Amino acid sequence: MDNIELNQMQFYGYHGLLPEENRLGQRFFVDIELFLDLKKAGKSDNMDHSINYAQVYDHVKRIMEGEVRNLIEAVAEDVAEDLLSSFELLHACSIKVTKPDAPIPGHIQSVSVKIFREKENGK
C-alpha cells in the first residue's frame, strides 16, 4: 500500500496526568503515515485523487491543541479516529505521538506511543 508521511509536526498542548502538565503545557511531536492508493493521483496529477496534507495538519492541530487528555495513547487514538472518518480515500493510518519533555525523573530523550488503525469493513 502506498503512503503519505507527515513527520515531526510540532504542537503545544496540555495533555498529561500531572496538574502542572495541564496547567503549563508542553511540546508534542506527531508523525503520521497515511495509507491509501496513490496510483490514480500519480497518473492524473489531480488532488481529488489524494489527500491534502494541509487539511491533515489542521485536523491533527485541532486535536493536539484541543481537549486535554490524560494519556498520549488517547490523543493518538483521537487523531486516528478523526482522520479515518474524515478522509474517504484513507484506508489506514499510523500515528506516533511523542512527548519530548515527559516529567520522568532521570535522563530520557522522549516518550512516545505509536498506533496503527484501519477502517473496518471498508468504512
The CATH number of the domain holding residue 78 is 3.30.1130.10
**What distance in Å separates the CA atoms of residue 4 and residue 13, rounded to the nearest whole number?**
25
**What distance in Å separates the CA atoms of residue 110 and residue 108, rounded to the nearest whole number?**
6
| Residues 32, 75 contacting (CB under 8 angstroms) | no
What pLDDT is recorded for position 123? 54
**What's the structural domain count of the chain?**
1
Helix (H, G, I), strand (E, B) or coil at 99: strand
**What distance in Å separates the CA atoms of residue 93 and residue 3, rounded to the nearest whole number?**
9
What pLDDT is recorded for position 122? 54
pTM of model > 0.85: yes
pLDDT by residue, tens only, the chain of 123 residues: 899 999 999 999 999 999 898 999 999 999 999 999 999 999 999 999 999 999 999 999 999 999 999 999 999 999 999 999 999 999 999 999 999 988 888 989 999 999 999 998 755
The residues annotated as belonging to the active site are 99
**What distance in Å separates the CA atoms of residue 55 and residue 28, rounded to the nearest whole number?**
19
* Structural domain that includes position 86: 3-122
